[in-house]
Structure 1
Amino acid sequence: MLAYITAVAIVFCIYALLTLSLNLHFGFTGLINFGHVGFFAIGAYAAALCSLNGMPYVVGFTAAAALAALAAWPLGLLALRLREDYLAIVTLAFSEIVRVVITAEEWLTNGVQGLPGIPRPFASLGIGGNAELAYLALVVTAVVLAILLIRHLVRSPFGRLIQAIRDDEVAVKALGKNPAGVKVRVFMIGAAIAGIAGALYAHYMNYIVPDQFLPLVTFYVWMAMILGGAGSISGSLVGAGVLIGILEGSRVVRDLLPNVMQVEMASLRLALVGLLLVLFVLYRPNGLMVKRDES
């Protein structure tokens, strides 16, 4: 039981990182990003390839954050020129391009066969509770650092500027401020956090394939952010917790209903998530943590 709870907690922390980074993009800055899973995938493969080639974990995590941020740079530039709906389409296309490239470049990523045998930190502690708890401590530390970083950003003059851009970009320009560089930096910072989440995911799973980075992951992260509340750091954590509760709860129900096929349960899970989304939009449009300016 402890092993299961630890595993769920680790997955929750990874989704919390993804939700926090997406909230920085949309909740605090108003940048619509439907391709968040692309940064997640870049981070996962960067860290995995570094570790499989004998590099230290620190190098892998640094590469994950740096490459994800670098990939976000041109998207940040596009955000300066595109309306919200077009930016959403471009970011969605970006995530699919990342997945197609990962699948096609077999010489580097092993294509659809994936990358097995990714080493996990603290493996020397042995298989079992100690290693899992140590890894949980690592992902919790990553979440805490991400929270502190985002809290510092949103409470600084930079944070007040990005929230002003979210609320009324025209007024910001009228005051003589230039939103261009700010949007690019926000895109890169959020992508770097998502890249770290990908690195943690790759090392925890020990095996990654392109099909683990479908647009469905982005949908789940958006769902978590909406449930918790856009523009709320605590909302990101609450939303990720509710999402993981739904996903894991449906697996428990599946065990209690042996006659229900796995495909049917997956469809039921998506229907439940969609129903919750509709209900929250109708009755709690600001999410569970309704204080939008909370940080």
Structure 2
Amino acid sequence: MLSYLLFSITIGGVYALLALALNLAWGSAGLVNLGLAGFFGIGAYATALATGAGLPVALGLGIAMLAGVLAGLMVTGMTLRLRDDYLAIVTLGFGEVVRLVALNERWLTNGADGLSGIAAPGKAALGTAGFNWAWCIGVSLVVLLVALLLRRLDAGPFGRALRAVREDQELAAFAGKPVLRLKLQAFALSAAIAALAGALYAHYQSYISPDHFQPLITIYIFLAVTAGGLGRPLGAVLGAYAVVAFLEGTRFLAAEVPGIEPVQVAALREALVGLSLLLVLHLRPRGVLPERIPAAPKVSA
């Protein structure tokens, strides 16, 4: 039971990083990223291939984040001069392209069989129990560090400029803000965080396959950010852990329903996820921790 609890907290941390990534792009800059699972997968495969070639895990994490940045710049560079809804469409397609490439390019990703034997630092030395404890604490610390950094950015000039772009990019441009550059920076940083989440997931699981990066992950993260509070890093983190707790809780709840098959149990869980999203939007449309816009500083006469 303890191992399962540690596993759930660790996966909650991975989801929290994804929620922070989405909150930065969507909550702060207004950039809807429907391909979050694609950046998640890029980070996982990048570090798996890098460490599989003999590179250190730390360097693999860096390569994963760099791959996320390059992918984010590529996607946004093609769409930022178009209407915002085009970015949502392109990112949705991008996520599926990543998954299909991972599924079909066996020479690179081993196809549907996935990549196994990914380096898991500390597993041999610490044993299974010690490894679970170490990674639970380590991933939680990474989440805390990223959340604090994003909160600091959010409270500074960069965060205020992003919110100005989100609210009215034409007015922000008129005020002298470099709108395109700000969007590129926000999306690239968001993609790097999502890729970092994928890299940590790959090293923790020691196995990845295209099935791990389904579009459903993006839906879960949108639910987490919406429930926690759009525009607040702390809300995104709390929402992610709440979503994981909800998913794991419904795993046992749905199994208690008599007279249904395992496939129907899975479908029931997804239906409960959709229902919960509707309830959150109805009861708390701004999330549990709504965004707080600080008052403009007073200008002395």
Q: In which range does the TM-score fall when normalised by the shorter chain? A: over 0.9
Name the CA distance, whole Å, in 2 between partners of 1:177 and 1:12. 36
* Contact 2:115 2:207 (C-alpha < 8 Å) held by counterparts: yes
Q: Root-mean-square deviation (CA), in Å?
A: 1.5
Inter-partner Cα distance in structure 2 for 1:237 and 1:177: 29
Matching residue's letter, 1:19:
A
Partner of 1:270, secondary structure, is: helix
Equivalence for 1:122 = 122
* 2:208 match: secondary structure: coil
- Pairs aligned (count): 294
Unaligned runs of 5+ in 2: 295-301
Residue deviations 1:143-175 (CA, integer Å, cap 9, x gap): 112112211211221111001111111110111
Residue in structure 2 matched with residue 137 of structure 1 by the alignment? 137
> 2:196 matched to which residue of 1?
196
Q: In structure 2, what is the equivalent of residue 216 of structure 1? A: 216
Matched position secondary structure for 2:241: helix
- The one-letter amino acid of 1:136's match is C
Give the equivalent residue in structure 2 for 1:291.
291
1:13 offset after TM fit, Å? 0.2
Match of 2:298 in 1: none
Asked whether the equivalents of residues 232 and 293 of structure 1 are also in contact (C-alpha less than 8 Å), the reply is: no
Task: Compute the TM-score of the two structures, normalised by the length of structure 1.
Answer: 0.95
2:167 aligned residue: 167
SS in 1 for 2:115: coil
- Report the Cα distance in structure 1 between the residues aligned to 2:275 and 2:78, rounded to whole angstroms: 33
CA distance in 2, matches of 1:293, 1:115: 45
SS of the residue aligned with 2:176?
A: coil
Report the equivalent of 2:66: 66
Matched AA of 2:192: A
Contact 1:79/1:183 (<8 A) preserved: no
Structure 2: how far apart are the matches of 1:176 and 1:116? Answer: 50
Identical amino acids, percent of aligned pairs: 43
> Is the contact between residue 40 and residue 195 of structure 2 (CA under 8 Å) also seen in structure 1?
yes
Relative to structure 1, is the Cα distance of residues 183 and 117 closer, same or farther in structure 2, using a 3 angstrom cutoff?
A: same
Q: Distance in 2 between matches of 1:280 and 1:168?
A: 26
Extract structure 1 runs of 4+ deviating beyond 3 A.
254-260, 291-294
| 8 Å contact from structure 2 (residues 19, 240) kept in 1 | yes
Give me the whole-angstrom Cα distance separating, in 2, the residues matched to 1:65 and 1:123.
23
Q: Map 1:43-54 onto structure 2 (within 5 A).
A: 43-54=43-54
> What is aligned with 1:36?
36
* Distance (Å, rounded) in 1 between the aligned partners of 2:51 and 2:252: 34
Unpaired runs of 5+ in structure 1? none
Distance in 2 separating the partners of 1:118 and 1:292: 42
